Chains A and B, each alone.
Chain A
Amino acid sequence: MEEHIAIKLNKAIHQKARLGIMSILMASKQVDFNYLKDRLKLTDGNLSSHLSLLEKEKYIKIKKKFVKKKPKTLCQMSDKGRQAFKEYLENLEKIIRSTP
């Protein structure tokens, strides 16, 4: 029996918060932690755990630096992440097309 296309959806991306992070990173070169927090209405801890998961999958790169003596966390999409996101979108499209 052929497996349903929904099973192929990337679990690391198929979650509202992580999907939000990936979408924002797709649209911009680099994004800081606070911007993501504000846009996605997440708490520090919640966002950190989602970012860690995406970083573990090597979908994003996280850089930490100091700007005017204040720590700043910058996130950037990796090539692998871009590819995974593209595939995820293709699978979503297939789901939509498969249902009459």
Chain B
Amino acid sequence: MKLMHRLTAAIGARRAWMCFPLLTLAATAAMGGDAFAPSPQREQKLVRMVRQDCGSCHGLQLTGGLGPALTPAALRAWSADNLAATILHGRPGTPMPPWSTLVSADEAEWIARRLLEGFPQEGTVVR
């Protein structure tokens, strides 16, 4: 099992590396804005997902829990690319799972950028 785990991790890391130049290009193209923007409905879903589902480990306010804090101050040392790769492929050896079956690479990049600038709050809760 451990071997498989490591193998998956290695493949994950390799994929992340292969993504790197592409993501960098996207970032350059997006100076001052994003190359990719989810639809308003999807955006709402992503914001809720990060706040609520990621929040079950990282906290609703993203101030940390079992997972580390995801506030801009806490993420100072992180690039958007590395964050996006972590979202997609997880962190082997920790409880952080790979989310690539639930978000696309573009969406992971979008989430990473929002985290670095201070993640948006959810819209008013509908009763």
Partners in one complex: no
Q: Which residues of A contact B (CB under 8 A)?
A: none
Q: Which residues of B contact A (CB under 8 A)?
A: none
